[in-house]
Chains A and B, each alone.
Chain A
Amino acid sequence: MATLAAAAAYALCAATTTPFTWAADAVTAVPLVTLAVLAVARWPAHPEPLALAEAQRARHPYRPWLVLAAGVVAWELVEYLARGSRGAHPTLSSMVDALDRHYVGTAALFFTWLCLGALIVQRGVPSVTPEGAERP
């Protein structure tokens, strides 16, 4: 809870900065360095990839997500490379920029980004096994 509150406070501070300034670089660099340090410190050097039960594996449960991710990447490229204004060809970045114009939107986005980073570190630690999966 204290960590979440600290992350929220940090996101609120970070949202006051303007991109392309040293302040924005600094507040963004701190979580980057923190995650890198935590990953090196807490993750095993030789990870054991998450293993699904045999019955689950046969159903290829990752495939739908892979297809969706491929669709997102493909459409992002189509829109990015299309001739014309960005308004006529919205990309993920341009849509997020619209949210980024508002202080609360930037703070919420920054907070989400911090939480995702913390989740990534947590999931890479061997003791964490999500429901419906098993470690080898």
Chain B
Amino acid sequence: MTSALGYATWTLLLIGALVLWYLSHIARGPAVARPSVVLTRLATGRWLRVLLVLAWMWAGWHLFAR
């Protein structure tokens, strides 16, 4: 298997994210939550907010420090 399949799948996932973002912003009733709503839901959940902060911390540490 070459890297083509990997990059193609990542591209599809990115397109999926963009489609969800678009669907969440179209006028007729949000069947898909807006990213800001998702983030607020995560940041206001008793345990979800802890996971969210830990994920953010881990991402920063992994990307920029170690």
Interface majority SS (helix, strand, loop, mixed), chain B: helix
Proximity bits, B49-66, A CB within 8 Å = 1, else 0: 100110011011111111
The answer on a CB contact under 8 Å between A131 and B36 is yes
Proximity bits, A41-79, B CB within 8 Å = 1, else 0: 001001111101001100101101100100110010001
* Chain A residues within 8 Å of B30, by CB: 56, 61, 132
The answer on a CB contact under 8 Å between B33 and A32 is no
Q: Which residues of B contact A (CB under 8 A)?
A: 1-3, 6-7, 9-10, 13, 16-17, 20, 23-24, 29-46, 49, 52-53, 56-57, 59-66
Can you name 16 A-B residue pairings with CB atoms under 8 Å?
A19-B65, A25-B66, A28-B64, A32-B60, A32-B61, A39-B53, A50-B40, A61-B33, A61-B37, A62-B41, A64-B32, A68-B20, A72-B13, A123-B36, A123-B44, A130-B36
Extra contacts besides A24-B64, A39-B49, A62-B41 (19): CB < 8 Å: A19-B64, A19-B65, A20-B66, A35-B53, A49-B44, A49-B46, A55-B29, A56-B30, A61-B31, A64-B32, A72-B13, A90-B7, A90-B10, A93-B62, A95-B10, A113-B64, A120-B39, A124-B49, A130-B36
5 smallest A-B Cβ distances: which pairs?
Answer: A124-B43, A61-B33, A123-B43, A28-B65, A130-B36
